[in-house]
Structure 1
Amino acid sequence: MVNVTLSLVGANGDEIVFTDAGDYVLTTGLSGMGIPSTSVRIDDSASDGGVWRFSKRGIREMDLPVVVFGTDRVTVESNLRRLSNLLHDKSGGTVLRASYSTGEVWELTQGHYVAGAETTKGEDANVAWSRWVLSMQFANPFWIRQQAESFSVAVPGTGRSLIPDLAELRVTGSQAIGEIEIENLGDVEAYPVWSFQGPADAVSVTSQNGLSFEYAAPIATGSTITVNTAAGTVVDEDGVNQYANLAVAPKLFTLPAGNSSVTVEAVGADANTLISLYYQPRKEVVH
């Protein structure tokens, strides 16, 4: 049986793990773990009904009913203050982490406390307690897997056989062409991070749907260009902005859920050239 443990991680670096027998216990009433709310646009049409324009997931709203225990009121207050400090978001959002017994870890990021810590308290035999129902909003509605998936292509015969998910670049004249077969294990599209390790005079990447972008400047041996499709950034190994070296009208495409393929072309590639990507799967539901 696969079990999952929930915890909150604050911007201050503290992590509180919810267990059935610890100081912090999640009780009945936890909500918001399923599909987040959706914004849908349907315009009136000339005929019956309407015309669907788009749908997008909205802010994920969650209620976390937490009972905080202690040996006395002083201990409970200390534990409450720890939880309160974890929820402070002046220096960043809160993360809700789901750790599976299989070793996989999925996270909701950019969480912010909204309400619910007004406190209901009580005492039983040798135990003091206080109950908060933490209402939170998460700007990122999807669970992101902490462990990334990676794929690479290289010129054959380079001694890189130990690299996992390595495909070959087929050399034709001064051009090397390779295809990467990708299985996105998430429920929704994922944003890849591309790495182009030189040498190459230019590198282009094309999705199976025809979307593409090209890094149209030389990459020297030992240099690496990183393209982050989520952030829309292009930097070299020193972190210097190289976005201007993209060809006109770049489409920094996402990876659809399920199986897809990507074609990579590198002009001027040799045995040192390595094109790779990694992505973190995203899903909607944790139970």
Structure 2
Amino acid sequence: MKQKVTTKAVIQHDNKILLLRRKGGRPSIRGLYELPGGRVHMNQQPEDAVQHALRIHAGVAVEHVHLKDVLSFLDPDDRELQYVLVVYEATLKPTDRTIELSEEYDKYVWKRMGDIQQNKLTQSTLQVLGLQDVPFGTSTPQKIETQNDDSNTSISRADIFTDGGSRGNPGPSASGFVVLNERSEIISEGGAYLGITTNDVAEYQAVYLGLVRAQEIGVRIVSFKLDSQLVANQMNGIYDIKSPDLAIISNRIKELMKKFDKVTFTHVRREYNTLADGVVNKILDSREQQNNTG
């Protein structure tokens, strides 16, 4: 499966959202409205890409951009092509609100959410605006709590084993975590089904979910144990993060880490990470069974 990273901008003015109508393109988008945006090219940051796309396709400059979400979207015209949508909220400069369209678009409108006709929007725009179910979002995964979860537990120090798996890479993916106290007793475990994404995204998402759970039960010092050498080295600052979608989740993890006294990351061999691996497989097996019976 191929993957492309692209940006989308939610621009509001007077409680209305800017939408551009596609002049041509693939059958699934031709003649439909979408949020402005553009592809992230090699060695380009998503924030730079979205600002460049707004200048090219709408002729506007933004005053502020703020990360809103990251979604995964399968191209309806090519099921082997997956888009990672990096979504920003953008504010235009007060003196720069005249829209000048590129040749890819033939019309623009400002619409209130309640006035938007869903059959006039592209599928990706429906997902970004929350008008259609989203199979995967890096900020809001479908959380699945499993057994051995004591909601009343509160400890100051914990080891958290995490794992992520993708059957296909990219393919159906899940993240899992297991929290152990200082006596190596399991006090919580959980995870998330992520939809279609990559193994690396699932590994990062597992760390994020584990850290969220640690905060919920009052842990102050966290020691992560994971079998992804890539994630361990990137979180320890040994490797640079070049993938835009991984950078988004990594930044979210680093923001959450500020609420703890200490967070460390240690790479362990796969055979020492069977607990978290078991959670991942349980989630993926459950989803596969649902799909087969549904």
Same fold (TM > 0.5): no
- Ranked by relative contact order (alpha carbons within 8 Å, sequence separation 6 or more), the top structure is 1
After TM superposition, the score normalised by the length of structure 2 is: 0.33
Q: Which is greater in Rg?
A: 1
After TM superposition, the score normalised by the length of structure 1 is: 0.34
